[in-house]
A and B are shown apart, each in its own frame.
Chain A
């Protein structure tokens, strides 16, 4: 580990903390439906959308209505994307003349992008036309991110409102988030990327002769526009198969830094927005503090393991940290940090191959996702997932102050507990269940490239990534098969919407409750004690659930490595 490495991590965290409040306030304005400076230009566009679609943005929706509209919208997008990918060969903007995407791959990809997972069973540059990249994928990057933020808003309203049924209007939330936040930021962001050397063209590829005289084809396309929202919306689906390790997606150390920042930007801001929504910004800071604590533990662990390197290689005379699968222009610290950021935030973009990390270094990304993508988490999804844990934490420990547990003025009763448990149990059920199935079926066993515990980690990581809607790949798993495409597609869908529905039901149930004023006897949900408790609950519930699988995967892998056996 180096001083520069730690400086990078400190600068990254510090800069984000400075940005929390301004971003949070911007989000809060959208949450409230208040005017922003951009309204002067964009308000007519917003009104135009409403008029065209016949939406009344003031109309309040109950949680069921909100959920149905959200589901119908996402299902329609899913079908549209599937159709688009299947008909790719017949459509324009296909300079390299790619044919239709296969059935199971198209299904997997459509689900993947609809659910903000962006798991990529395909290699972008050799499978998809520019039209598919732009229309099928980039649009999803915007809309799935906006959906996440809208859902977080709905849950915030549940906490903030009193004795009412409405939790907002899905269409208004979607429109505002996309129009006043995602689009404007991405335009500026994309221009920055273009200036840094990221391609933005409709041309297909360039053939050139390298210095050694070899012929090479360089794939090109509208990369910058997709890259911007890929990071900001924690989508993570790269234009190229190599994702942010590819020099055209992430050319410099500066773009790398900005990409990491943009992954966390909205997630951080939403914690502040939550605090504003419930009338006490300290509530938001407490959640952010808990997220940051887990994040920093992970960064330290991964950086330490990667910098320490592989003892087997040390014996062979290879000095230094583990550089396998990392880009030289980023180095160990920036790669370790990126890997923890992208898995903490449900982004899934990668600038290094997690499969090549040391066993424990690679376990942190895995654990990050297994904890439920709540360490900052995907835009919106992170905070609503974390609030589910907060509900559990309040319930388990809240009784210890001798009152019916309350959180931000709402009593937590059996309905909320039931729904929160339901949402949280989905994660282990699908991750562990599907991994177990893949571990015994021949079709599943055909997937992993490596043998032993490392191969097991590859399967476990794939389902973890799918259910957690992360989308990062451990690599090493041959996932473009009917078995994995199908199973992962189902896993991604369940992992997204089977958590959202109970979460929205909680929002509805909370909104209907009366407000309980805070007193000296109320359970304190600000301050270090609460933060520590949150961290403890997230780690214990996540840890206890996944320890057996981790023991058979990365931990066994690590112990074998110490004893000189590699997989």
Chain B
């Protein structure tokens, strides 16, 4: 899965096995999944049989060529699918190898026994020591370790995994490179992340997506309509006092039914998933990829997505009689146990600017952990307490403060900080307000342009932040998002998603914490960060192996690309039919009414070469379009109107014109080679 293993689309080691698979896929049980190609195969079979027993005025050499090209049409289709699956198969093989060598040290009391990873059940606890591969997905229940997750993410810098909190999830196949941890297994054999990845990249679980089903129905409908159009010709011809050989009718039918898009349809779907995988995002279903294209509202966490990850403390603003030094001291104590970048920046500011030296908490002190509900952290010891947190939360936790003068002053300072796009953190000691810490947010370079792009794509961006509304508004304005949700709790987030969905909009979000899980599950596209908790990874329908929340924007683009590729090739395929008619109709009927030769606008040499050229064009266009199907049509965020105009010009008009040229050229070649 490492990015370094990326391969170009067409290399011999992908193409050669795909040729073998193309023949294997001729199995009727597999072909029937694609009704148009199945019809083509049935017609090809019929003609093959007629080749031996049929009697008509057509030359056997001509009929033989028709049969060969009909079979090639089917084979090109199965080849495209096999080629698209090829890369996934190779990746799956290497993942399987990783999985096979996993063994586990299962704990029994204080001792452990070594068992194969496949014997582990949910709830078992295993010991993983330095150098060991983690045998199964699970949660760290004890210890801290640095883990190399390159096998999954391709990123070789180790990450910290520790018990409790949002960094407790570990994945099978990753390696502990220092320390040791105890891991409680959270999945049964065969259902782990690695198994799911193998199934996903291999395409074994691939089911048709809703959109693919609808498109297949349309193609079936067109096939039926053309069956009617072709099937009634013998009756008409008999009225005109002639007949049309079956081989010619078959050729007309196959050129008319949408073989081009039908042959490439599943390849497009597989390639779409594969593009995500190469982008280091795993979609749990094709449905999720499609939904990504339909997203109307994007919920983006401010931190890390819109602003440069970490806010930095830049100022202490005391209130009332408190001195700056006193505030710095309290802030330092409250932050010593706070391992977040913000906490560390407070410690740094207190030490460097005010020379505070405290390096450890006082004897007997207890840490008040931050929770999403209280939004307060701090420290307390024998009666004393220092609280640090969002201004409102501090005031709520200390009901007596409201009426005091320092509170008024704090509010003024808070507003100042907020309007400057900063985040104020209030500090209180023993129920007395000391002041605020100015945390500065820095909006990422270029993000404003990205949001402009999204707006042109018709996507509304909503910034989610724990900040107060003033700060949020200031950053939102600076970053150019459409809306924001300030002081957001996980419940607020879930509520917002529900509200958007009730309005008929599709919502995408990303998250990592356990408390994000309900919202991730509710969102139409929920991208869980790979560094996140097991719960989050279970709840989302995509996992970003790089844990980069900005990627959500690209994921939407990839979803659109998938849908566009389908639409473009469908339009192209249908538009092609016009030229094929002009090749075959005069060829077919000229014997009945010689005047109809006027419809031979391409000036094809003879009726036989016209029919042969049309069927050859129809077959060859499939491999010609394979690269486009696998690579996808480029999505440009220029708004739906211009995009449609552009694609209609290329694939609609192009689809009308291209076959006229193509068939003419093939006709010249066919006659040059004396094939008809």
Which residues does chain A contribute within 8 Å of B9, judged by CB atoms? Answer: none
Given A440-B235, A514-B504, A547-B585, A421 and B639 contact (CB-CB distance below 8 Å): no
Contact B224 A425 (CB under 8 A): yes
Contact A432 B641 (CB under 8 A): no
Which stretch of B420-428, B433-441, B558-566 is in the interface?
A: B558-566
B648's contact among A397, A455, A519, by CB below 8 Å, is which?
Answer: A397
Contact B599 A402 (CB under 8 A): no
Among B189-228, those with CB < 8 Å from A are 210-211, 213-215, 217-218, 220-222, 224-226, 228
A555 shortest CB reach to chain B, Å: 7
* Bound complex: CA A514 to CA B503 (Å): 8
Among A552-567, those with CB < 8 Å from B are 552, 555-556, 559-560, 562-563
* Bound complex: CA A395 to CA B221 (Å): 13
Which residues does chain B contribute within 8 Å of A399, judged by CB atoms? Answer: 211, 215, 563-564, 566-568, 570
Q: Which residue of B lies closest to A419 (CB)?
A: B217
Which stretch of A238-246, A375-383, A522-530 is in the interface?
A: A522-530
Which residues does chain B contribute within 8 Å of A519, judged by CB atoms? Answer: 296, 458-460
Question: A189 near B: Cβ within 8 Å?
Answer: no
Bits for B502-544, please: 1 = Cβ < 8 Å to A, else 0. 1111000000000000000000000000000000000000000
B211's contact among A162, A404, A523, A524, by CB below 8 Å, is which?
Answer: A404
Contact B296 A404 (CB under 8 A): no
Contact A456 B563 (CB under 8 A): no
Question: B456 near A: Cβ within 8 Å?
Answer: yes
Contact B457 A524 (CB under 8 A): no
B210 shortest CB reach to chain A, Å: 6
Contact B218 A424 (CB under 8 A): no
Interface size in chain B (residues, C-beta < 8 A): 76
Question: A439 near B: Cβ within 8 Å?
Answer: yes
A217 shortest CB reach to chain B, Å: 39
Q: Which residue of A lies closest to B643 (CB)?
A: A401
Q: Which residue of A lies closest to B560 (CB)?
A: A402
Given A527-B641, A556-B593, A396 and B571 contact (CB-CB distance below 8 Å): yes
* Bound complex: CA A402 to CA B593 (Å): 46
Contact A517 B564 (CB under 8 A): no
Question: B290 near A: Cβ within 8 Å?
Answer: yes
Which residues does chain B contribute within 8 Å of A551, judged by CB atoms? Answer: 585, 589, 596, 599
Which residues does chain A contribute within 8 Å of B210, judged by CB atoms? Answer: 404, 413-414
Question: B173 near A: Cβ within 8 Å?
Answer: no
Name, among B211, B224, B574, the residue most crowded by chain A CB atoms within 10 Å (CB to CB): B211
Question: B595 near A: Cβ within 8 Å?
Answer: yes
* Bound complex: CA A317 to CA B155 (Å): 89
Which residues does chain A contribute within 8 Å of B502, judged by CB atoms? Answer: 514
Contact B578 A440 (CB under 8 A): no
Question: A486 near B: Cβ within 8 Å?
Answer: no
Which stretch of B98-106, B143-151, B237-245 is in the interface?
A: B237-245
Contact B563 A529 (CB under 8 A): no
* Bound complex: CA A105 to CA B480 (Å): 73
Contact B239 A520 (CB under 8 A): no
Question: B660 near A: Cβ within 8 Å?
Answer: no
Contact A521 B640 (CB under 8 A): yes
B233's contact among A404, A540, A548, by CB below 8 Å, is which?
Answer: A548
A interface vs B, CB < 8 Å?
162, 392, 395-404, 409, 412-414, 417-418, 421-422, 424-425, 428-429, 432-433, 435-437, 439-440, 445, 452-453, 455-456, 459, 514-517, 519-524, 527, 529, 533, 536, 540-541, 543-549, 551-552, 555-556, 559-560, 562-563
B interface vs A, CB < 8 Å?
210-211, 213-215, 217-218, 220-222, 224-226, 228-240, 256, 290, 293-294, 296, 455-460, 502-505, 559-561, 563-564, 566-568, 570-571, 574-575, 577-578, 581, 585, 588-589, 592-593, 595-596, 598-599, 635, 639-641, 643-645, 647-648, 651-652
24 A/B residue pairs, CB under 8 Å, sorted by A: A395-B214, A395-B218, A399-B566, A400-B648, A402-B293, A404-B290, A421-B224, A425-B225, A432-B229, A433-B232, A436-B235, A453-B593, A456-B236, A519-B296, A519-B458, A529-B641, A545-B225, A545-B226, A551-B599, A555-B596, A555-B599, A559-B595, A559-B596, A559-B598
Query: What are the 3 closest A-B residue pairs judged by CB atoms, nearest first?
Result: A521-B458, A399-B567, A402-B560
